[in-house]
Amino acid sequence: MKKTIAMQLCAFAFGLSYAHSATLATYDTPVSTTTILSVTGIAGSAGVVVGSLEKGGGITISSSTSGWRASAYNQTAQTQAALEAANTGGDYWGFSLGASSNYNVTLNGIGVLGFVGSSTGPKNWGLISSTDSSFASFTTIASSATGTGSTYNTPVSVATTWSGALAAAPIQINAGTTRYFRIVGYGASASTGTGGIGEYGSLDFSLLGDVQSLVRQVIWAGGDGAWNTSASNWTEGASSTTFAAGNDVAFNSGGTISVDAGGVTAGAVTVSGANNTTLTGGALNASAISKSGAGNLSLGVAGNYSSGITVDGGSLTATVNDSLSGGVTVNAGASLDLGSTTNSVQNLVLNDGTLSGAGKVNVGNAASVTVSSGNATIGAEISGTGASPNRGRAL
Q: Are residues 182 and 225 in the same domain?
A: no
Count up the domains in the chain and report the number. 2
Q: Are residues 168 and 291 in the same domain?
A: no
Q: Are residues 136 and 269 in the same domain?
A: no
Residue 289 lies in a domain: yes
Residue 264 lies in a domain: yes
Domain final residue pick, 213, 245, 273: 213
Mean pLDDT on 96-105: 91
Q: Are residues 101 and 245 in the same domain?
A: no
Alpha-carbon distance 122 to 115, whole Å? Answer: 10
Give 218-243 pLDDT, tens digit per residue.
999 999 999 999 999 999 989 999 99
pLDDT at 371: 67
Q: Are residues 124 and 87 in the same domain?
A: yes
Q: Are residues 208 and 252 in the same domain?
A: no
Which residues are within 8 A (CB) of 332 and not within 5 positions of it... i.e. 6 or more apart?
A: 351, 352, 353, 372, 375
Domain final residue pick, 176, 195, 213: 213
Answer whether residue 19 shows pLDDT above 90: no
Domain final residue pick, 213, 246, 277: 213
Give 374-391 pLDDT, tens digit per residue.
566 676 677 655 444 443
What's the whole-number average pLDDT of the chain?
88
Q: Are residues 290 and 208 in the same domain?
A: no
Mean pLDDT on 354-379: 68
Q: Are residues 353 and 267 in the same domain?
A: yes
Residue 395 lies in a domain: no
Residue 394 lies in a domain: no
Domain that holds residue 172: 11-213
Give 306-357 pLDDT, tens digit per residue.
889 999 999 999 999 999 998 899 998 999 999 999 998 888 888 888 898 8
Q: Are residues 323 and 187 in the same domain?
A: no
pTM over 0.75: no
Q: Are residues 239 and 108 in the same domain?
A: no
Residue 5 lies in a domain: no
Residue 2 lies in a domain: no
Q: Are residues 185 and 256 in the same domain?
A: no
Residue 392 lies in a domain: no
Which residues are within 8 A (CB) of 94 and not within 5 positions of it... i.e. 6 or more apart?
A: 53, 54, 55, 56, 180, 181, 182, 183
Residue 4 lies in a domain: no
pLDDT at 291: 97
Q: Are residues 44 and 146 in the same domain?
A: yes
Band of the pLDDT at 21, cuts 50, 70, 90?
A: low
Give 117-153 pLDDT, tens digit per residue.
999 999 999 999 999 999 999 999 999 999 888 999 9
Burial of 375-390, coded b for 16+ CB within 10 Å and e otherwise, reads ebebebbbebebbebe
